[in-house]
Amino acid sequence: MQISNIRAWPVRLKLREPYTIAYETISECTNVMLLIETSGGIRGCGCSAPDQQVTGETPEIVMEVLEGLVIPELLRKDPLRPAKLMERLTALIPANPSVCAAVDMALYDILGKSSGLPIWKILGGYRSRILTSITIGILSCEETVRAAQERIAQGFRCLKLKGGRDVDADINRVLKVREAVGPAAEIRFDANQGYSLSQALHFVQETRRARLELIEQPTPRGESDLLGRVTASVSVPIMADESLMTLRDAFRLARRDLADMVNVKLMKVGGIDVSLQINAVSRAAGLEVMVGCMDECELSIAAGLHYALARPNVVYADLDGHLDLTGDPTSGCVILKKGILYPLDKPGFGFDF
């Protein structure tokens, strides 16, 4: 079997409600869909979700790289040798992780469909479902509380609050949300690099009674020593997100004890295969892993879910980037019930365009 044709096209997706994080407000996104066709009639589906702030890519860059470099490299190759193909590709386009993620995803989809198995079972099949958090962007205190109550009423059991612009306002919102949702709900907080060291320590001290499950990337990613100082100074688990972009980053974070946990996003690290390698490094170092996402269509969320289900060390999921998108051409790739995500019981990711 050979790769006989590759097609890519951008899809602009609007959010039902714009949301705000520490450094920007998002109202829409563009994902690039990828379809790899084979001489055996099996089609692999993938998706790139570029984000200039995170991956350093735009949709235009993704299309240019796919058409100019990736497609010529992959045509007439054996799709059932994904490790060989991805090794070549990552060397060819090292600055394009979301492109690598899309190709990696499509190749795994072909492998699953060829074998008649879902990807999460091929990768290990450790669990069959996982709890996901639901994100609430930076809002006023009253709006945050209202949104938290609505999400709990919808069946979600884990909330992720965004912050990082005003530490005292963040403290107030966290405490008010805990009062409103009660002790049973899990609350995570993501500062998106917005705090200094003193602000991060102040935030932790003042939110102790809210019993946060974890705090994500409190300090700037370019100042890793600050992240390590926060981690060493507080009892709440600290998670690295923007500080983890590559396998080498995972090794550096682990070797220097700079975080307690890491957030692995397929789009920023380059796909499932390298995510498995990062998970291995993390497990060896005693770091727990969360699989995260950006504004991604449901197919991309499905890929993150299959990765999360495969390994015991991936114990947290923040896979909600598809929930507010309109016009998603890949809708139906995952099943969500009361805040828990389930995969489709079909070969590959269970989807075809």
301 contact partners, CB below 8 Å, separation of at least 6:
293, 319, 321, 322, 333, 334
Q: Which residues are bridge partners to 20 per DSSP?
A: 25
Residue 190 annotated among the catalytic residues of the structure: yes
Q: Check if 265 is active-site.
A: yes
Q: How far apart are CA 304 and CA 317, in angstroms?
A: 9
**DSSP-assigned beta bridge partners for residue 31:** 11
Q: What does pLDDT average to over the chain?
A: 97
Tokens 């003193």 found at: 198
Q: What is the pLDDT of residues 200-215, one digit of tens each?
A: 999 999 999 999 999 9
Candidate list 51, 109, 213, 216, residue with the active-site label: 216
65 forms bridges with which residues in the sheet?
none
Active site residue 162: yes
Selected catalytic residue, list 57, 190, 242, 288: 190
What is the secondary structure of 131-173 as a DSSP string? EB-EEE-S--HHHHHHHHHHHHHTT--EEEEE--S-HHHHHHH
Q: How confident is the model at residue 20 (pLDDT cuts 50, 70, 90)?
A: confident
Place of tokens 């044709």: 5
> Please, what are the domains in the chain?
3-116 (3.30.390.10), 120-343 (3.20.20.120)
Residue 259 CB burial class (10 angstroms; 0-12, 13-18, ≥19): buried
Asked if residue 217 lies in contact with residue 240, where contact means CB atoms within 8 angstroms, the answer is: yes
Lowest-pLDDT range, 151-155, 193-197, 221-225, 336-340?
Answer: 221-225
Choose, from 104, 265, 298, 318, the residue flagged as catalytic. Answer: 265
pLDDT at residue 177, rounded to an integer: 98
Name the residue among 105, 111, 108 with its Cα closest to residue 32: 105
What digits encode the pLDDT tens for the residues 21-37? 877 788 899 999 999 99
Catalytic annotation on 241? Answer: yes
What DSSP element (H or E) covers 119?
Answer: helix 119-122
In sequence order, the 6+-apart residues with CB closer than 8 A to the CB of 208 are none
> Which listed residue (109, 162, 213, 273) is catalytic?
162
